[in-house]
Chains A and B, each alone.
Chain A
Amino acid sequence: MHMHKYEKWWLTFGVGSLVLFLVIVGFSAFHYGSHPPSDKVYIDPERVDEIAPFNNPGVHKVEGKDWDYEAVIVASAFYYNPPEIEVPVGSKVKFIVTTKDVVHGFQAAGTNINMIVEPGYVSSYVTTVDKVGEYLILCNEYCGIGHSSMMSMLKVVE
């Protein structure tokens, strides 16, 4: 198919940019492990309270793992348990979340901690909390009448 010379330049530039984006995000993901939350860990949503680690929600210091703390959170309409998470700045934290009822979101505003929590699945995200502050954790997936009152607080302290 015949194309104008400039159209060929434009397509080369445009497609080149798209390839560049893909190389950057692909390399970050598959070389540096910066994947979006994609766990394949399953749980019976009716028995969440009985199953470890969700039988003990809260922040736990751990040893011998790639991260320093585990923040275990149970979401349900319209609460997060625990209502507050405190971790020291610079520590590597694994956020582990599941839900007892419908689909919820789990997002700490102003951070990259942002994942969907689905009944039957465990979602997790590991990150180094490197900035002191209070970050509002909120539900960003519609879950019912109390959706906008569902919250917790992430406190990153000295």
Chain B
Amino acid sequence: MSKKNEKEPDLKGTLYSVGFLGTFILVTWFLAFYLFIDRF
């Protein structure tokens, strides 16, 4: 193991968690945008 690996903690779970969060934001935003476009 290199020294760099020691410094960088394993944050895969964090990456997936924020990934879920970001996806949620994108999906809800586009749903709202669709509703806006659909209405007059």
Residues of B within 8 A of A14 (CB): 18, 22
Question: What is the number of residues of chain B that contact chain A, defined by CB distance less than 8 Å?
Answer: 16
| A21 adjacent to chain B (CB < 8 Å) | yes
- Chain A residues closer than 8 Å to B18, beta-carbon distance: 10, 14
* Pairwise interchain contact B39-A110, C-beta atoms closer than 8 A: yes
Which residues of B1-40 are within 8 A (CB) of A?
8-9, 11-12, 14-15, 18-19, 22, 25-26, 29, 33, 36, 39-40
Question: A10 touching B39 by the CB < 8 A rule?
Answer: no
| Residues of chain A at the chain B interface (Cβ within 8 Å) | 4-6, 9-10, 13-14, 17, 21, 24, 110-113, 127-131
28 A-B pairs with C-beta separation under 8 A: A4-B11, A5-B8, A6-B11, A6-B12, A6-B14, A6-B15, A9-B15, A10-B15, A10-B18, A10-B19, A10-B22, A13-B19, A13-B22, A14-B18, A14-B22, A17-B22, A17-B25, A17-B26, A21-B29, A24-B33, A110-B39, A111-B40, A112-B36, A112-B40, A113-B40, A127-B40, A130-B40, A131-B40
Q: Closest B residue to A5 by CB, please name it.
A: B8
Contact partners of B36 in chain A: CB under 8 A: 112
The answer to whether A128 and B40 touch across the interface, beta carbons within 8 angstroms, is yes
CB distance from A96 to the nearest CB of B (A): 17
**What's the Cα separation between A127 and B37 when bound, in Å?**
12
Q: A112-B39, A127-B40, A128-B40 are in contact. Are A4 and B22 (CB under 8 A)?
A: no
Chain B residues with Cβ below 8 Å from A21 are 29
**Cα(A18)–Cα(B12), bound, Å:** 23
8 new A-B contacts at CB < 8 Å, known A13-B19, A112-B36 = A4-B8, A4-B9, A6-B11, A10-B18, A10-B19, A14-B18, A17-B26, A110-B39
